[in-house]
Every structure is written in structure tokens, then in C-alpha cells.
Structure 1
């Protein structure tokens, strides 16, 4: 079944059937990253202070589902109130979670299964009321499905950090073709207003709301993400040794950490190699570079004579249809279609740039969804008219200059958990996540 990406035209019965299918699909994915591929020792180990033990993620998914779909939506009495604090992401930072009395793997799996069974049992009885923001359009169910998919992507980052033999199999399927050489390196986005954000997407988060008009001057944006080949040119030109290209705090970070290349890269016998889910392989030149921090992305863009796009510039290039004078939900249109983007863990890697010509935006910009999260120059901030819903800790507590916005999702992001308006954010030093970049420049700059 194709992922649910709109509730238009569905009656309550049809919507509930699709919700149940998506709940089942995401749980299969979660178990395939935890109890079905790793033993108890690995599930309870912490591979990095940046990440939780995988068993914490698994039980947290179930606890979040219990809180919102059983207690809040269905009015069911708490099942395990004594574990709420253990799985509160704001009460316990990741570094200290291994010391908590966490549910062991088999108990965690049993708990999430029991929660899910009760959710599916209660779903037919819950009214999806249009006058209730929590249940209208199935919002709270969409929130929980997206939350689990987001944790699955976090689990994939944990798998990437773990040492030892590979635990994940490479998915079967055709390798996308290499880039069409006819793709221009950049396109002009004309000056003018566009509609940013959304007011009517039923499963959009609070930070994507509300739709508002943003007027931008003309600019150029790269048609594809920056490739490994292009990034190697930056390295070999001494980009990591020249403070001119670096934000002052980025230069301090680079110097203190001794960074010389993207995360998981090594240089051996004159060749760049990368470690990817326990496999060491040559760095593929045509894939988008990934595992770069905002500081690295910003330095590369400066070295290339460009800059990172603002969040608004990224969204206009991805969503705005200048002929129809409206914004689309996805770069190619309003409905998700397979084969238009590298999303959903179909591959355990980015696809070569230019691989999805059917996924281009109205401006001819490629791969704006999937492959790698793209850093923007923007700080994470509220849109006009922002209202925290259904809880402040999803977005509002992160607003500020400490966090930079990422857009577009990665190969590890599920289609339900990304769209043209979706906003991600992280510290500018983070690079264990599947991050890359594309560049922009002012239209007034000479080339």
C-alpha cells in the first residue's frame, strides 16, 4: 500500500483503515531495526553519547503511542505510568539513558505490542471530530506514525555509529542511473512572492504552520546536491586548513576536533574510503556528500564562491509553481508517488545525483526530497501566527539561533515524515545524521 499522504476524499472509515495500515507498516520497520537484527547486548549498549541505546528508542515509541493514542485520544487509563519518566526525552538526556532502569529488550517488545493491540482495538471507537484539533483528519494518529518513523531514522544513525559486522542487509532493487550530463549546474529563481508553510495539511506539525507570503529577490540555486566528487575538491584544495572559509565557531570546532573530512571517511593508499553500516567501501563520486556538519557545509559553500540557501529560498525552489502561482505539497505535485525520490530506506545510501528526473520541481531542481537532509543558512524560528500544538516540546523550546534548519529529508526518511513544508533542525556541529547540502548565490553576483 502506498504511504498515506493526503486525507482528501476519505470518509472516517477509510481514513481509519489507512491509519491502521500505516501503524502496522511503521512497526515492521521499527522491529527490523531492533529486536529482529540485534541481540540483547547490542540493543542495551550505547554506541555513542549522542545516541540512546536502541532499546530505549523502542520502548519510547510505545510510551509515546500510549500517551497520545490511548490516554489522550481514546481516554484509556495508563498502562505503565511508572515508566513515563524513563522515556521522557526531556527529562533524561541521551548520555545518561544507559544508566536508567530501562525495560529489557523482550519486555520492551512485549510492551509496544500490547500498546499497539490496544490502539487498534480502540481505533474504531474513537471519533475523528473536525471540531477537535487533536483528532481532526486523524492528526494525532499521523503524529504518532511520523514520530515512530523519525525514531527509525534515528535508529539508522545509531546503526551507522555502531562497530562490528553489518546488521542491516542492503535492500534489493535496481541502482538508479547516473546523472544526466544535460542537467545545468544551477537555475535562476525569479524574484517575487510565494506561499511558504501550510495551513491545510492535516498531518503537518505546528512549526510548518501557518501558510504565509514571503517575497524574495532573485537568486540561483544548485540543481542537485553537492557530490562527493565536488566535496573532495574542497578537501584537496586545502579547504579544511584555510580559516577564510569557516565561520569562527566552525573553525574552533574543526580545530578542536581535528576534522579533515566528512564523518566516517578515511584516506588510505591515495583513495577516499567510507564506512557505511559496517562496510568499508570507496567513496562514490556521484552520490551527494553526507555526514557533514553545518559548519562544513557553510565552509564548502564559501569556498565554492556561493552560500547556503535560506530556508525560504530552499522552499520556493522546491514547492512554488510559477505558472500556476501556487505551492505544491511535493516538488512534483500534491500527491506522493514511488519512483520520484529516494525516500523510505529503499536503499541504505543516497542515490547518484540526477537519478530521479520525475521528481524535479517546477523550476527543474532535482532531489529536493530524499537522499540527504540539506542544511540551510536559517536559524530555527516560528512562522507568523505560530501556535504550539499539541505540546511545546515538539518545536517551540528549540526556537533560537542555536539550531540550524535542515530541509528535504534523506534516504532514511519515510515519505510520511517529510514534505515540502517539513522542517528539521539540529546543532551546527551535528553530522552523525544523514546531512548534505546544495548551494545558492545572489542573482546579482557575476560568475
Structure 2
């Protein structure tokens, strides 16, 4: 959300929040109404929850934080909290729980939302950090949109006739090739001012980044196909020890949903691989191996953010590559507006000052960095949002995907996952250090 939320009038903030809550709920309804009750309760992959679990979990988090905490009101269903606590039950085990059925889940989320909208009419946005600038409501908007993206990934894993539709992404409008030079020097990473930024994005701090080259666009299907055709999946030279062990164990031969004959399946529709789209559904180990094959590497998280935010003309960090304004359709492929990444070069208005394209939207981009807290990190409002994931288990992804809503995507937003995961909408771009004496 825009920085001016810090100064917006309370009544205007209520309108912004109500609109964002409604947009998220309409998307949740679209994703769950698209299938019948049997599909809602079925587990389409052991990597994912049943869609009906996600729906009720969305309502339960909204009840916990807004109805009970912010509103200090009587619980709607405190008897189900344990069923929808993501830390109590692994995804693979959730179908065996006594979950709310689809009708009950829908009724529950409606009741919770009615109470939240009543609360929104009267709540004071001051007095404690949880409510300042509407933070708790913004946190719930982001939480629902994140689960909507998770449900969209479940739809991609679902077997059956297609049920989701959307307009195709825009065509390429400018050629985007090669790499951009990002000069050495300090920049401000993270934020201390973004009103709805989550704890792992804070605080703002200065990072001195050596000069580097970075791809002007994400790696495309055509580029990745050359790695596959060159035997990249069968040549141990390109893989780390852990990556090679995983490649063998999982029998990886190409990105998830590729069929080996030049076709792939997306949301139930099989068709030819589009050469100029960013490659998607690759794990971190695959991205790492491709980069090694290409004589390059994955960018660090700090490099990615500097490429996305640093404005050399002013020396400041922007909210987005294009500036400080919230994303518009001409800037980036976000919000499930399309059901695919857009071809490289489709969003020239979204490029960074250095000429790096499609840093926001299309595909989450793997970085070479482990997920950890910034210097001065403070958990807020609870440790389980970020802190329990810190360490050497999860790699950082940046930038959002075509399934990420604008409320849950900004230049400082951090995502993370295990390096073996590829059911998410993950892609990457590569970087390299300058050769001796080389400059832009």
C-alpha cells in the first residue's frame, strides 16, 4: 500500500481497507466456487492442503487477529482453532482432520467477515502498533491473498477439466536482451516506513553492494530448454552436491508440468511451451544448476533488491522499480489477472532505472540467499510469521508472480521456501561478477 497511508484520514483508510478486504474475499470465492464440494475437500497433492482447509484457515486467522484481538469481541468458533493452526498439522495430514465442510466453511468466513466490517466502522487506528495505519487489517488482507496464491497453485496441481479462465497476458512490446550493470555502492535495503510491511522487511538498513551484472529479464523457457537439450539434468558438473542428490532422488528431468515433448500443462490445459515466457515451476537447485551451466550465478537478495529499487539519479530506494506508485496493469503481471507469466518485454513501464524488466510479477525469483532477519530485526506481531523460519533451510524468493496480489508485493517484500519446492510459481534470473577491468 502507498506510503501516504501514514497520513490518510481515518475514514479514507476505512474505505481502502474495506475495498482490499473485499477484493481478497472475491478472489477466495472465485477459487473455491470454481470446483465442486468433492474437489474442495480432496487433497490434490500432499504438498498442499485441501482447498476447504485454506478457506476456513483464512477465516480463522481473521477471527483471531481482528475479531478477538483488535476488536476484543467474543469468539465465533474457538473450538476449531487447533484444526486451522498451520503449525499443529502438516499439510499432508490435514485431510484426516474433522474439518468444516464446504457449507460450514463458507458460513464461518461470512460470519467472521460481517463482524470485521462492523469493527472497521468504529476502530481507532491509534494506541498500539497493531492498529496504527490499519496494520492488522492490512496483515489480514496480505494473509488472505497469500493463501489465494497458494490455492491457485493447488489448482495447477489439480487433475481434471479446466475450471479457471482469464485473459491472456499482453504480448511483447519491446525487445529485452542481455544484462544490466549495477554499479558498486551502498543503498537502503528494507523499510522502516512502509505502513503494512511485515516484520522480515524491517528495519531499513544500508548495504554496500559490489558492482555486478544482472539479467535484464527472467530466464525464459527457450533459454531453459537449451540447458535441458544440452543434457544439463544429466551432467553432475552443474549441480551442487545437495542439488545433484535431490535431482536423482526426485528424478528431475525438466521443470514441473513439462512433458518432455515440447508441451506443458497449465491449469488443466495442455499446449506448446511458449519460448518467450519466463520459465516457471523450477526449484532452487534447478535454478542454481542452470546458472552454473550458463557461467553465471543466482543474484544475492541484496543484489536483487538493489537492481529493483535503487535510483542512481537520487540515491534513494524506490518502493518499486518504476517509482513509488502502487502497481498498475501497465507495470506488472499481478493479481491473477492472467493465468500465465507474460512474455519478456511485455511491461516496459515497469522497468527499473537500470533497465531491468519484470522484477515485479510474472514469476517469483529465486536468490542465492538463505532466509534470515535483517540487522535489528524484531518479531511482530508474532514469532511464527517469520522468525521460526530463519536459518539454513529456506531460500529467499523475490518479486511476486502472476498469482501475487499487489497488496502482498512490493520492492521490499520477501518470500521464502525450501530449495526443493517447485509447485510454487517460481522462476529466476542470473547474475555475474565483473571480469578484471570490466565496467559498464
Give your verdict on TM over 0.5.
yes
Kindly tell me the number of residue pairs found equivalent between the two proteins.
Answer: 437
- Secondary structure, counterpart of 2:259 in structure 1: strand
Shift of 1:12: 0.7
- Secondary structure, counterpart of 2:354 in structure 1: coil
- Secondary structure, counterpart of 2:393 in structure 1: strand
Q: Which residue of 2 aligns with 1:138?
A: 134
Shift of 1:310: 0.1
Q: Which residue of 1 aligns with 2:435?
A: 444
Residue pairs, 1:292-371, within 5 angstroms: 292-336=282-326, 337-371=328-362
- Secondary structure, counterpart of 2:194 in structure 1: coil
Contact 1:4–1:22 (8 Å) recurs in 2: no
Distance 1:5 1:227, change over 3 A: farther
1:124 aligns with 2:93: no
Give the distance between the partners of 1:393 and 1:8, measured in 2 at CA.
26
1:240 aligns with 2:228: no
1:150 aligns with 2:140: no
Residue pairs, 1:39-438, within 5 angstroms: 39-129=36-126, 131-169=127-165, 171-172=166-167, 175-178=169-172, 180-181=174-175, 183-268=176-261, 272-336=262-326, 337-438=328-429
Distance 1:166 1:445, change over 3 A: farther
Shift of 1:5: 7.0
Distance 1:374 1:87, change over 3 A: same
Give the distance between the partners of 1:247 and 1:186, measured in 2 at CA.
25
Shift of 1:179: 5.6
Contact 2:177–2:217 (8 Å) recurs in 1: no
Distance 1:445 1:368, change over 3 A: farther
Give the distance between the partners of 1:172 and 1:412, measured in 2 at CA.
14
Contact 1:54–1:155 (8 Å) recurs in 2: yes
For structure 2, the residue ranges without an aligned partner over 5 or more in a row are none
Give the distance between the partners of 2:436 and 2:99, measured in 1 at CA.
56
Shift of 1:382: 0.6
Q: Which residue of 1 aligns with 2:14?
A: 16
Give the distance between the partners of 1:102 and 1:144, measured in 2 at CA.
22
- Secondary structure, counterpart of 1:354 in structure 2: coil
Contact 1:6–1:335 (8 Å) recurs in 2: no
Shift of 1:176: 1.6
Contact 2:341–2:363 (8 Å) recurs in 1: yes
Give the distance between the partners of 1:50 and 1:426, measured in 2 at CA.
12
Give the distance between the partners of 1:445 and 1:389, measured in 2 at CA.
44
Contact 2:2–2:325 (8 Å) recurs in 1: no
Give the distance between the partners of 1:176 and 1:38, measured in 2 at CA.
27
Shift of 1:4: 6.3
What do you get for the CA RMSD once the two structures are aligned? 1.3
- Secondary structure, counterpart of 2:392 in structure 1: strand
Give the distance between the partners of 1:265 and 1:156, measured in 2 at CA.
18
